[in-house]
Amino acid sequence: MELSVLNIEGKETGRTVKLNDKIFGIEPNSHVVWLDVKQYLANQRQGTHDSKEKSMLSGSTRKLHKQKGGGGARIGSIKSPLFPGGARVFGPHPRDYHFKLNKKMKRLARMSALSAKAAEQSITVIEKFDFEAPKTKQYIQILKNVNLFDKKTLLVLNELDNNVLLSSRNIPKAKVARVCDLNTYDILNAQHLLISEPAASKFDELFSVNE
């Protein structure tokens, strides 16, 4: 797969970058992608939710009325879940939602996500650029130049530039990541991938794929 390299003004530089078909041209494995996204979202959960069961509540343990002869149901405790302020039945308790996937599955999931974006023609390669200081307005102008301002974008860099990161931080639909930090969720969550020219050559090294 060969793509033209654009400059920050949105014009072609005359250079092209070849993306490895073993990474960007495979048949996506939807089940592995689902597992990887599920793991990513599960690992974000804090699992600090908690609820009180009957034994955890403070309150009187006196029997409210006698067992029989009242004409109504039996009532053993004011802490019953049937009463306001009572306990919760089978409520949540703190737990760890993390689970593991092997490296080969995660690797296949990322390649599947990248291949899906390539098939949708949702990848643009842009020349290397940097900012002298954090400028959100300057980053917005670059997105407008490549006709991506109204889309959710993920800018993939070879090395993280703090000024570029800070410039994009206040833009709701923009995100920046290094090649080595890419995950399946971020790739799929973005409507369009912006890959810097130096980062494009790092995918083979990251996924250990040779022609």
Other C-beta atoms within 10 Å of 67: how many?
9
Other C-beta atoms within 10 Å of 133: how many?
8
User: Considering Cα of 45, then 46, then 52, then 53, what sign does the dihedral take?
Assistant: positive
Looking at residue 37, its pLDDT comes to 97
Task: Determine contact, residues 187/117, Cβ cutoff 8 Å.
Answer: yes
Rounded CA separation 105/111 (Å) = 10
Looking at residue 209, its pLDDT comes to 60
Whether the pLDDT of residue 62 is over 90: the answer is: no
> How high does pLDDT run on average in the chain?
91
Q: Over the stretch 15-33, which tens digit does the pLDDT of each residue have?
A: 889 999 999 999 999 999 9
Q: Over the stretch 122-147, which tens digit does the pLDDT of each residue have?
A: 999 999 888 889 999 999 999 999 99
Mean pLDDT of 118-124: 93
Q: Where are the domains of the chain?
A: 2-45+97-207, 48-96
Other C-beta atoms within 10 Å of 120: how many?
11
Looking at residue 211, its pLDDT comes to 44
Whether the pLDDT of residue 208 is over 80: the answer is: no
C-alpha atoms less than 13 angstroms from C-alpha of 209 in its C-beta half-sphere: 19
* Check whether domain 2-45+97-207 has CATH 3.40.1370.10, yes or no: yes
Whether the pLDDT of residue 68 is over 70: the answer is: yes
At residue 75, what is the residue type?
I
Mean pLDDT of 176-187: 93
Which of these, 45, 38, 43, lies nearest to 184 by C-alpha position? 38
Whether the pLDDT of residue 14 is over 50: the answer is: yes
Beta-strand relationship, 153-157 and 192-196: parallel
The pLDDT > 70 percentage for the chain reads 99
DSSP the chain: -EEEEE-TTS-EEEEEEEPPHHHHSSPP-HHHHHHHHHHHHHHH---------GGG--S----SS-SSSSSS-----TTSTTSTT---TT------------HHHHHHHHHHHHHHHHHTT-EEEE-----SS--HHHHHHHHHHTT-TTS-EEEEESS--HHHHHHHTT-TTEEEEEGGG--HHHHHH-SEEEEEHHHHTTHHHHHT---
